[in-house]
Amino acid sequence: MSLTPKEIVNAAVGPYDKYCDGYGNPGSSGVGYISVLTLDTGKVKLDMDNLLEEIAVPKNKKAADILNMTVDEWEEEVKL
Three state DSSP letters for the chain: CCCCHHHHHHHHHCCCCCCCCCCCCCCCCCCCCCCCCCCCCCCCCHHHHHHHHHHHCCCCCCHHHHHCCCHHHHHHHHCC
pLDDT for position 72: 73
Q: How far is CA 10 from the centre of its chain?
A: 21
Higher pLDDT, residue 18 or 53: 18
- 45-65 average pLDDT score: 63
Tell me the average pLDDT across 49-59.
62
- pTM assigned to the model: 0.27
